[in-house]
A and B are shown apart, each in its own frame.
Chain A
Amino acid sequence: GAVVSQHPSWVICKSGTSVKIECRSLDFQATTMFWYRQFPKQSLMLMATSNEGSKATYEQGVEKDKFLINHASLTLSTLTVTSAHPEDSSFYICSAGRTYGSYEQYFGPGTRLTVT
């Protein structure tokens, strides 16, 4: 199968601190990973496209200095929420596509961030 993991699954942090979320493809290599944000009872909003070895491409309206994305290897991408505020509280989901073969995306289980 194709498994994507996220860590942590749930995190609470204080306002003004930074939080790092990891996304790993466990049994395949992923040249491209995506980061989504999901508000309660709403759909997924694409935040950015993360390509291994290059800078991430952010969607319009997403602050790249606030949501730092690093894709250092073919199996790991990280999202760092800097100087978090309560309005950043949300469910963050990553997805990854295989390097070869199907272009299907595999989604991680999500990370729930609560900023107090």
Chain B
Amino acid sequence: GNSVTQMEGPVTLSEEAFLTINCTYTATGYPSLFWYVQYPGEGLQLLLKATKADDKGSNKGFEATYRKETTSFHLEKGSVQVSDSAVYFCALSDQNNFNKFYFGSGTKLNVKP
């Protein structure tokens, strides 16, 4: 079956620190992979995506590379800001099943000034 596992939080960093949030997946086919961000009281916003192996998604300084050999899609940012504080969800979509999404448990990021 399909599933997503991401590192538990919260992750607390100082401003300008390097961020890595690990995400691994299990899938029966060839899924697309996503990172979504959720700010307090709001819905999910797409942060970045990758649709095939070795693709790198990037946005707002965040990036993640679709690694089929390690079934991973780790999120990285070189220098975090206080405004990056949010919950980050890794997800995959199953194109063979009505594009159903499978979400990881979410990782809360706290960035301190």
Contact = CB atoms under 8 A, between A and B. Distances in A.
Interface string A47-85: 001010000010000000000000000000000000000
B46 interface: yes
Interface of A: 6, 32, 34, 41-44, 46, 49, 51, 57, 93, 95, 97, 103-110, 112
Interface of B: 32, 34, 36, 41-46, 49, 89, 93, 95, 98-106, 108
B105 A49 contact: no
18 contacts: A6-B43, A32-B99, A34-B101, A42-B106, A43-B89, A43-B105, A44-B101, A44-B103, A97-B99, A103-B32, A103-B95, A103-B99, A104-B93, A106-B46, A107-B36, A109-B42, A109-B43, A110-B43
